[in-house]
């Protein structure tokens, strides 16, 4: 039996070191290393360097664990635990000098597939503001010593966040969903880092969040934060979060968002 608190302690330590490196590299200037799935989907030298740091530390401290990272790919382990890592979530913000980006690290058990895994521990660390959101299964979600709880929207409507994928072909569908969700909203944010959108739902800085096109490393840690803060995270009806859809909110709002997205 793996102790989720031990995994969380390690994730916290590594996320801090990784975030410090990302912040330092940002202050020195950012170089775009390559484009990925689309011309707007970029990777910086810092993304690669930060992921190498995280991967190297995990390999040294837990050599039997698997790894699934945004920049360096997947490797199966032997322990049943996989680390799911986005070294810099919000890369476009990072490249433009917008301080809304995060290191996201989750430890999951079971098949390294969000439809099948159980998340054990998760950390979303925002280095530019030095904020650490963390959760371990059954132990709640926390921000700097404060236990987090998802919010219920007020009569003014829900403060919602969403995102738009890098592939222009998907934007018409994204905008159609946004138009259908809009009547539930008091306002909508598109801040540019999915892990922080989820962390903010956990911290009741947002009432809800939905987005199509996320990768496992975008939501692995953030989804655990929301669940441990009493919220619900799911994908398409009856499914867990996936590339096809991720919705996070308190249960009632979650249902209302899902109802209008899937009319
Ligand atoms: C992206 C961000 C963005 C979301 C994209 C993600 P990246 O991650 O989380 O908010 O809209 O879908 O890919 O590329 O910055 O790690």
Tens-digit pLDDT profile for residues 27-44: 998 888 888 888 888 788
Residue showing tokens 């608190």: 5
- pLDDT of res. 72: 87
Q: How far apart are CA 104 and CA 86, in angstroms?
A: 5
- pLDDT of res. 180: 97
- Tell me which residue has its CA closest to atom 11 in ligand 1: 163
**Do residues 183 and 158 lie in contact, with contact meaning Cβ atoms separated by under 8 Å?**
no
Q: In 3D, which of 218, 219, 223 has the Cα closest to residue 249? A: 223
- pLDDT of res. 28: 92
Q: How far apart are CA 225 and CA 71, in angstroms?
A: 23
Other beta carbons less than 10 A from residue 147's beta carbon: 11
- pLDDT of res. 78: 97
Q: From the alpha carbon of 47, which atom of ligand 1 is closest? A: 16
Q: How far apart are CA 69 and CA 189, in angstroms?
A: 27
pLDDT tens string for the chain (263 positions)? 579 999 999 999 999 999 999 999 999 988 888 888 888 887 889 999 999 999 999 999 999 999 999 988 899 999 999 999 999 999 999 999 999 999 999 999 999 999 999 999 999 999 999 999 999 999 999 999 999 999 999 999 999 999 998 999 999 999 999 999 999 999 999 999 999 999 999 999 999 999 999 999 999 999 999 999 999 999 999 999 999 999 999 999 999 999 999 87
Q: How far apart are CA 195 and CA 173, in angstroms?
A: 22
Q: In 3D, which of 240, 235, 225 has the Cα closest to residue 258? A: 235
CA of 260 to the centre of ligand 1 (A): 24
Residue showing tokens 């969403």: 162
Tell me if 86 CB under 6 Å of ligand 1: yes
Q: In 3D, which of 76, 100, 72 has the Cα closest to residue 86? A: 72
CA of 66 to the centre of ligand 1 (A): 23
pTM confidence score: 0.97
Q: How far apart are CA 116 and CA 23, in angstroms?
A: 34
Q: In 3D, which of 107, 93, 105 has the Cα closest to residue 132? A: 105
The answer for residues whose C-beta is within 8 angstroms of residue 41's C-beta and 6 or more apart is: 35, 166
- pLDDT of res. 263: 75
Tell me if 194 CB under 6 Å of ligand 1: yes
- pLDDT of res. 114: 94
Other beta carbons less than 10 A from residue 122's beta carbon: 36
């Amino acid at each position: 039996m793996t102790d989720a608190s031990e995994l969380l302690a390690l994730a916290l330590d590594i996320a801090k070191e990784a975030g410090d490196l990302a912040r330092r590299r940002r202050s020195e200037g950012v170089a775009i290393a390559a484009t990925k799935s689309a011309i707007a989907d970029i990777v910086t030298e810092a993304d690669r360097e930060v992921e190498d740091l995280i991967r190297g530390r995990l390999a040294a401290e837990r050599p039997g664990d698997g790894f699934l990272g945004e920049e360096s790919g997947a490797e199966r382990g032997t322990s049943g635990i996989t680390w799911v890592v986005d070294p810099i979530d919000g890369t476009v913000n990072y490249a433009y000098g917008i301080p809304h980006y995060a290191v996201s690290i989750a430890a999951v058990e079971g098949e390294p597939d969000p439809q099948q895994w159980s998340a054990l521990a998760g950390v979303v660390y925002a280095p530019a503001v030095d904020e650490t959101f963390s959760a371990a299964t059954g132990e709640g979600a926390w921000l700097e010593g404060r236990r987090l709880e998802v919010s219920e929207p007020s009569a003014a409507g829900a403060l919602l966040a969403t995102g738009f994928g890098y592939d222009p072909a998907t934007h018409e569908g994204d905008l159609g969903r946004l138009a259908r969700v809009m009547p539930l909203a008091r306002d909508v944010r598109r801040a540019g880092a999915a892990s922080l959108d989820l962390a903010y739902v956990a911290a009741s800085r947002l009432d809800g969040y939905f987005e199509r096109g996320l990768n496992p490393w975008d939501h692995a840690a953030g989804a655990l934060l929301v669940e441990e803060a009493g919220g619900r995270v799911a994908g398409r009806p009856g499914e867990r979060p996936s590339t096809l859809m991720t919705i996070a909110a308190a249960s009632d709002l979650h249902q209302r968002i899902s109802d209008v997205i899937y009319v």
